[in-house]
Chains A and B, each alone.
Chain A
């Protein structure tokens, strides 16, 4: 099914998406309509234009591709599936996500991956090709955030106060520059082991045509909550 979203209000557009029984839905001329694919299950949604706030919130087993940019709160609390943005994204992408993958070709805004979490085999992943704003991984409780920093090789590609309140999960950054204003409860490992992120780098490269050989050779910094952080025991992942 194909929908022309030009001049459509967000509720009309989302009603049309929900009413369709087709697995694949293509939406053209999107300009800021909110909640596209929110709560969707077992769909494939392709968007052309600027996707509005809360794209793919509570998403389950659905793949969303955006040919254009995404605004704020992309993948808010998503469960599974994938959101791929062929452009840049706004603030708080992957907010409290609990599974699936959000992948952004370019830059992303503030508070990427705030409060993302994991449980058992459900380990969410966020991959950002460019740089991110301040408070990356704020209150992170689980999952993997990978910032490739392509085009920002001479600076740290994440903003200030990265990993503030982090008590679980991992943040990988392709950089040799220490992030600014790191909180004391974070452990930093330079030139970290890459085995966990190589499949993610590969996925990014196959989607956006970046050079896997050079990206996989570079140094990555790993941020994790310090083991002396007592909160870790309270909230983070337990084996099932």
Chain B
């Protein structure tokens, strides 16, 4: 026991934490370096415990904007070979490389981390009789459940997820985020409550262009999981945020619900509030709640959803987690704590806290 620093021995130290989220979005599409989001999340260091940190950047791959950018963790070379064989069978690989990292004293046991810019092979796509995005989703799920030691953690276009076990500011340095420029960034500092914390389980969780960073713990996980798995999704990580990502993909992409309505499904008003509404709205919200009752998310959450050309911030309907939003010129900022916004925007035009279940959007101006 002598070699263990005092602070790591249970009972000797309390670690006061909750997760932290932060993000910003330039509606004019101005691209800024990733070190800005790293700086923001670092001010909430004490909300995480070093067992997970991650980022999503949008607009970071303009030179490959028409290809799907796959970011993949491999446990070993065998997993890589099997995965690349699968990719070659299904996609045209325009470019592949290791994701550049820099050695960091606090980031250890890294898997092999690779990146592929790919387009579905037209013959394979045609014979699958699937839409292109659905084809990509099926391939990602096939790799994640079918190839031992391989995990695709990012699969959108002109965007990418970067995540690891560690504090977010260390993860940002490890992935050299200062060398990327994006019009939108989100970040997460993790304090895992139900799982040990490994690279794949860090946030953001992502599928196609959707990414989720999440602070909280949803108590409806199993009800949500059972429902969503009946539509072909596979929750492989036992962590609640993964299921939120699939719910949003299902409602928004597959069912065609607007993101406003998606927010109404996962964080609906109470029945007594719906009953008090005037009629077309009362009927519409009643239909939504009844049609997707298994996708109501209960328990505390604050999330930032990244999607193609936008972000959405949302609290659970009881607002059991904190979330602050600010605007400065064309940029929308969202964070668990005001300090993380003020760290990168000292004088916002407006700063406020949205209510529970009340989504806040920023989208690219056309």
- Chain A positions within 8 Å of B, measured between CB atoms, are 9-10, 31-32, 34, 50, 52-53, 69, 71-72, 88, 90-91, 107, 109-110, 133-135, 159-160, 181
Contacts and interface: CB of A to CB of B under 8 A. Distances in A.
Interface string B184-227: 00000000000000000000000000000000000000000000
Contacts of B272: 181
B342 A31 contact: yes
B339 interface: yes
Interface in B244-278: 270, 272-273
B21 to A, nearest CB: 14
A95 B71 CA distance: 44
Nearest to A133: B355
B234 interface: no
Contacts of A88: 351
B343 interface: yes
Interface string B38-57: 00000111100000000000
B356 A50 contact: no
A90 B338 contact: yes
Contacts of A32: 43-44, 337-340, 342-343
A110 B339 contact: no
> For B270, B272, B356, which residue has the most chain A Cβ atoms within 10 angstroms?
B356
B46 to A, nearest CB: 6
Given A9-B46, A72-B337, A181-B272, 20 more contacts: A31-B339, A31-B343, A32-B44, A32-B338, A32-B339, A34-B16, A50-B338, A50-B342, A69-B338, A71-B322, A90-B338, A90-B353, A91-B319, A91-B322, A107-B352, A109-B353, A133-B353, A133-B355, A134-B355, A134-B356
Nearest to A110: B319
Contacts of A9: 45-46
Contacts of A159: 355
A231 B272 CA distance: 24
Contacts of A109: 322, 353
Nearest to A32: B339
B121 interface: no
Interface in B311-366: 318-319, 322, 324, 337-340, 342-343, 351-353, 355-356
Contacts of B352: 107
6 contacts: A110-B353, A110-B355, A110-B356, A134-B318, A134-B356, A160-B273
A50 B322 contact: no
Contacts of A69: 338, 351
Contacts of A160: 273
B319 A134 contact: yes
List 10 tightest A-B contacts by C-beta distance, closest first: A32-B339, A31-B339, A110-B319, A109-B353, A50-B339, A72-B322, A32-B43, A50-B338, A91-B322, A50-B342
B353 A91 contact: yes
Contacts of A110: 319, 353, 355-356
A69 B339 CA distance: 10
Interface in B28-46: 43-46
A31 B43 contact: yes
Contacts of A133: 319, 353, 355
Contacts of B270: 181
A72 B353 CA distance: 11
Contacts of A90: 322, 324, 338, 353
Nearest to B352: A107
Interface string B81-97: 00000000000000000
Interface in B133-156: none
B337 A71 contact: yes
Contacts of B343: 31-32
Interface in B269-325: 270, 272-273, 318-319, 322, 324
Contact of B273 (A31, A107, A181): A181
A52 B324 CA distance: 13
B270 to A, nearest CB: 8
A120 to B, nearest CB: 32
Nearest to A90: B322
Contacts of B43: 31-32
B355 A52 contact: no
Contacts of A181: 270, 272-273
Contacts of B339: 31-32, 50, 52, 71
Contacts of B342: 31-32, 50
Contacts of A31: 43, 339, 342-343
A32 B337 CA distance: 8
B322 A10 contact: no
B353 A52 contact: no
> For B270, B318, B338, which residue has the most chain A Cβ atoms within 10 angstroms?
B338
> For B43, B273, B353, which residue has the most chain A Cβ atoms within 10 angstroms?
B353
A133 B354 CA distance: 9
B353 A53 contact: no
Contact of B337 (A52, A107, A134, A135): A52
A36 to B, nearest CB: 12
B353 A71 contact: no
A10 B16 CA distance: 12
A72 B43 CA distance: 15
Contacts of A34: 16, 46
> For B43, B322, B339, which residue has the most chain A Cβ atoms within 10 angstroms?
B339
Contact of A53 (B318, B337, B355): B337
Contacts of A135: 318
Contacts of B340: 32
